[in-house]
Amino acid sequence: MLNGKNILIGITGGIAAYKMCELIRRFKKSGANVKVVCTPNALNFVTKLTLQNLSQNQVYVEEFDIKDWKPEHISLADEADIMLIAPATANTISKIAQGFADNLLTSIACAFSKKMIIAPAMNCNMWNNAVIQENLSKLKFHGVEILEPESGFLACGYLGKGRLCSLDKIFNAVCKGLSYSEKLKGKKVVITSGGTIEDIDPVRYISNYSSGKMGFALANCAKSMGAEVVLITTKDFEAPYKIVKVKSALDMQKALDEEFETSDIIIMAAAVADYRVKEVSTQKIKKGENEELTLELVKNPDILKGLCEKKTHQCVIGFCAESENLLKNAKEKITKKGCDYLIANDISRKDIGFGADENEVTILNKNGDIKKLEKASKSVIALEILEYINE
């Protein structure tokens, strides 16, 4: 079932490291090519020779043990279809979350742009540590799947949550992840994010509170599902796909027009300003003696509606940010715009509104179907949206 798949397993220094021997055997029996990278401390719990015999590949430990011209942390990242880190210690989890690259395993993790699964194992007090939970949340936000540990008797003598989850759960998650990485293969997905900026003068502008996080999560998720991704955004992001930085609504419209014909899916997650200043001042507007300042505004083009009117094969998804009458306004908007799907957000809630790391949305489609996605991290919501529109 895994013929031709390349699985990279990272093993860290925890007592559960020995369990990886059975997992490697199962992956090999299913036809996968398995490579193993260990932290130096992992070899205190399982031997390099054992892992080499089971994987039938060299086991990598030292960062600069280079046999040819290729830097190992890059070549191993490029070769693998999926990366699994199990057991993952609190130390390694924290390093990856903070972008540290102080050994071969963490260097590969920093360079890895495909599906990554982490299965933590540690003392229950370490698992409950607020900093560790923050680091896990950060990894989840960036699309890393966390297989939470189980409760039970731990090697340290404690009874609590921290034991490595079952090998069946890990095996199934990897199989699902490999299938997931093919779902959008061959598709070009264009996503917008952030709030557009409309200049008033050289120092002032009109904008909104959009952080761009939802669009960024969608782009990361689409990439891990195998798509060719283009993110058109007003925010500064770094990612292993094409990013087009724009400023105003007109800039965003132009960038979308350039990508439109060759795209398969367009997701308009950006908060586009409805109006712009009619005449932008070339000089800073002085306060003067008047108590009031009048700005003449003109409508920006309705980018979403324009895309829907000219689409041929493209699937167009819009976003709808509402502070009241969410479903009523969303139903009117999907009819007016003509998009295939509309994602409705309730921005009146601080826990899921602009800038939040979590979201809760309602998906409407052109046939009148409605699906609510319960509150979750924006990465999870992004996955659920993409899976729904790709059914």
* Last residue within a domain, chosen from 180, 207, 222: 180
- Closest C-alpha to 379, from 225, 159, 208: 225
Helices 303-310, 326-337: crossing angle, 10 deg rounding: 50
Same domain, 194 and 298: yes
Q: Which of 199-208, 287-296, 307-316 has the lowest mean pLDDT?
A: 287-296
DSSP SS3 for 54 = helix
Same domain, 376 and 354: yes
The answer, yes or no, to whether residue 66 has pLDDT greater than 60, is no
DSSP SS3 for 169 = helix
Same domain, 108 and 204: no
Same domain, 197 and 175: no
Work out the pLDDT band at 181, boundaries 50, 70, 90.
low
CATH of the domain at 123: 3.40.50.1950
Instruction: Compute the C-alpha angle 189/193/194, nearest 5°.
Output: 175
What backbone torsions phi and psi does residue 17 show, to the nearest 5 degrees?
Answer: -55, -30
Q: Which of 70-74, 236-240, 297-301, 374-378 has the lowest mean pLDDT?
A: 70-74
Q: Which of 145-149, 158-162, 167-171, 172-176 has the lowest mean pLDDT?
A: 158-162
CATH of the domain at 248: 3.40.50.10300
Question: Which percentage of the chain shows pLDDT scores above 90?
Answer: 67
The answer, yes or no, to whether residue 360 has pLDDT greater than 80, is yes
Is position 333 within any domain?
A: yes
Same domain, 122 and 231: no
- Closest C-alpha to 109, from 95, 120, 122, 91: 95
Is position 42 within any domain?
A: yes
Same domain, 336 and 212: yes
Is position 25 within any domain?
A: yes
Q: Could you list the active site residues?
A: 156
Same domain, 33 and 175: yes
pLDDT of residue 177: 84
Q: Half-sphere exposure (CA, 13 Å, Cβ side) for 294?
A: 1
305-332 per-position pLDDT tens digit: 999 999 999 999 999 988 889 899 999 9
pLDDT of residue 332: 93
| Mean pLDDT, residues 34-40 taken together | 95
pLDDT of residue 64: 58
Same domain, 168 and 211: no
Work out the pLDDT band at 157, boundaries 50, 70, 90.
confident
Q: How much is the mean pLDDT over the chain? A: 90
The answer, yes or no, to whether residue 288 has pLDDT greater than 90, is no
pLDDT of residue 69: 47
Q: Which of 1-5, 38-42, 230-234 has the lowest mean pLDDT?
A: 1-5
Is position 90 within any domain?
A: yes
Is position 1 within any domain?
A: no
The residues facing 297 across adjacent strands are 277
Question: Which percentage of the chain shows pLDDT scores above 70?
Answer: 96
Is position 228 within any domain?
A: yes
Residue 276, domain extent: 188-389
* Last residue within a domain, chosen from 180, 213, 231: 180
Same domain, 67 and 174: yes
The answer, yes or no, to whether residue 132 has pLDDT greater than 90, is yes
75-101 per-position pLDDT tens digit: 888 899 999 999 999 999 999 999 999
The answer, yes or no, to whether residue 274 has pLDDT greater than 50, is yes
pLDDT of residue 2: 82
pLDDT of residue 67: 54
- Residues with Cβ within 8 Å of residue 290, at least 6 apart in sequence: none
39-49 per-position pLDDT tens digit: 999 999 999 99
Instruction: Please tell me the distance from the alpha carbon of residue 201 to that of residue 132, in angstroms, as a whole number.
Output: 45
Please name the residue that has the structure tokens 């899916």.
265
Same domain, 144 and 247: no
* Last residue within a domain, chosen from 110, 145, 180: 180
The model's pTM is: 0.68
The runs of H, that is alpha helices, within the chain are: 20-29, 48-55, 72-79, 90-97, 104-111, 124-127, 130-141, 167-180, 213-224, 249-260, 303-310, 326-337, 378-389
Sign, CA dihedral 142-147-152-156, equals: negative
Total domain count, the chain: 2
Is position 381 within any domain?
A: yes
The answer, yes or no, to whether residue 71 has pLDDT greater than 80, is no
Work out the pLDDT band at 165, boundaries 50, 70, 90.
very high
Question: Which value, in Å, is the radius of gyration of the alpha carbons in the chain?
Answer: 24
Q: Which of 22-26, 139-143, 308-312, 372-376 has the lowest mean pLDDT?
A: 139-143
Work out the pLDDT band at 1, boundaries 50, 70, 90.
low
Same domain, 231 and 365: yes
The answer, yes or no, to whether residue 68 has pLDDT greater than 70, is no
Same domain, 345 and 214: yes
| Mean pLDDT, residues 19-32 taken together | 93
How is residue 281 written in tokens? 């001042």
The answer, yes or no, to whether residue 182 has pLDDT greater than 90, is no
| Mean pLDDT, residues 187-191 taken together | 97
Instruction: Please tell me the distance from the alpha carbon of residue 267 to that of residue 341, in angstroms, as a whole number.
Output: 9
